[in-house]
Amino acid sequence: MEPMDTQIGEMTSQDTQQESVSTPVATPTGRPERRKKPRIRETPPAPVPPPHLDEYKSIVGQPYIDELRYLADALKGKRVKMVNSTAVGGGVAEMLNQMVPLLNEVEVKTGWDVITGGNDFFEVTKAFHNALQGSDYKLSQQARDIFMMHNNLNRQRMEFNEDFIVIHDPQPAALIQSRQQPGQHWVWRCHIDLSNPNPEVWGFLQPFIEQYDAAIFSSQSFTRQLRIPQYLFYPCIDPLSEKNKELDDSFVQKVCDEFGVDRSRPIVTQVSRFDRAKDPVGVIQAFKQARKYVDCQLVMAGGGASDDPEGAAVLKEVNAAADDDPDIIILDLPPWCALEINALQRASTLVVQKSIREGFGLTVTEALWKGKPTIAGAVGGIPNQIIHKLTGVLVHSVDGCAYQIRYLLTHPEFAQRLGHNGREHVKENFLMTTNVRRWLLLFRILLGAQTS
């Protein structure tokens, strides 16, 4: 097969409208030939500017945008400061990059500050992060001192004059000690699962957390018993981002051609890092069981193998389990291949996320948003997204996953209904605009707006 003129990763949204449909090159067996090394961009593309609120109108409707503007009206002139521990990389920074401009657009003046700290601080907070999610850890006095020293240095460096201060995650939690102004509202936004924390670390942090006016969690099951009100803010996706926006079918075809995915046959896809928590080997086993009865291909698209030794080991296990099966397409993609991931999800007949441990599971949200019938492990935040047999199906084993692949591939009407419901569920609960509304509501409620 001749190389294509355009590298997949170089395509822009405009290109996707202009690309012509490529036809897969047929081999003597009738299958399209798989490229040995699909060409993808080696460096990240320039960041895309965040969308304006009105650009969401076609997705959520004018009444929804009007509601946001009405909620924001009562907050005009109020100021918000968001504080987290990193400006780039990770889901929190990504979310703030999108959320802060939208809040400013509705004239709720929102700033974003990032705490500083040395390697010692971030080693301690990394250990805290893992310990709060259940890892073994012995909290030393030295770790406490490092945590407090850097929080105090940041308190000296930063000013807290805003009406609302929102602190994200445990790293800057002790900044609450700078609370002075009467009438100021401090909110702790916890993005991690606190359902089974290391008691020493939680015991150290809890007194800080209970000085806030409210805490926010990503799932009911991630919470602790606290003396302050706790709110539920689901993580969200941006429907206009490269990962989730509508794509021209010619672009989807081009990506499939490049990666050797045959769109004339059913496609089962799992998108996730090569991580044992995502049970990629279990997915291959389930696929092989299902394929005894239904024709299909499996796409395993992920990353993390190049910069993470464990990821590389998992990828090796995945390749061994695939055993050169021509119907299993394993793609180790860099994190900036959002358009390609989007295209693969859109080309899929079914999406699987057979995690055995999970945070919220935004890859499930992405699949549901694309109207894909989705099979997922009943762990972490996934049951918030998948209502069994209504917005997708939940599974607990390899055998269960295999059965559901067979069932959904042979019952397309049911699968289509799940996909439709799944998309509506995301529209209702897990879009960026929903979270803008949640923030505006929370600020109004903290100000004492009339609620019933």
Per CB under 8 A, residues contacting another protein are: 61, 63-64, 66-67, 70-71, 217, 220-221, 223, 225, 229-232, 378, 383, 387-388, 390-391, 417, 420-421, 424-425, 428-429, 437-438, 441-442, 444-445, 449-452
CB nearer to another protein: pick between 291 and 425: 425
The CB-of-415 to another protein minimum distance in angstroms stands at 14
Residues 335 and 311 sit within 8 Å (Cβ to Cβ): no
Q: How far is residue 449 from each of residues 75, 161, 398, 442, measured CA to CA in Å?
A: 11, 22, 49, 10
CB nearer to another protein: pick between 119 and 452: 452
The CB-of-441 to another protein minimum distance in angstroms stands at 4
CB nearer to another protein: pick between 186 and 259: 186
Q: How far is residue 158 from each of residues 82, 151, 171, 181, 350, measured CA to CA in Å?
A: 12, 10, 15, 15, 48
The CB-of-292 to another protein minimum distance in angstroms stands at 29
Which letter does DSSP use for residue 110 in this model?
A: E
CB nearer to another protein: pick between 52 and 388: 388
The CB-of-351 to another protein minimum distance in angstroms stands at 19
Contacts 24+ apart (CB under 8 A), 389-396: 389/418, 390/418, 390/421, 391/418, 391/421, 391/422, 391/425, 392/364, 392/368, 392/418, 392/422, 393/418, 395/354
- In SS3 terms, 51-72 reads as CCHHHHHHHHCHHHHHHHHHHH
CB nearer to another protein: pick between 36 and 227: 227
The CB-of-214 to another protein minimum distance in angstroms stands at 9
CB nearer to another protein: pick between 180 and 451: 451
Residue 225 CA to residue 165 CA, distance in Å, equals: 22
What is 112-140 written as a DSSP string? Answer: EEE----HHHHHHHHHHHHHHTT------
The DSSP H or E segment spanning 84 is strand 79-84
CB nearer to another protein: pick between 231 and 336: 231
The CB-of-245 to another protein minimum distance in angstroms stands at 22
The CB-of-229 to another protein minimum distance in angstroms stands at 6
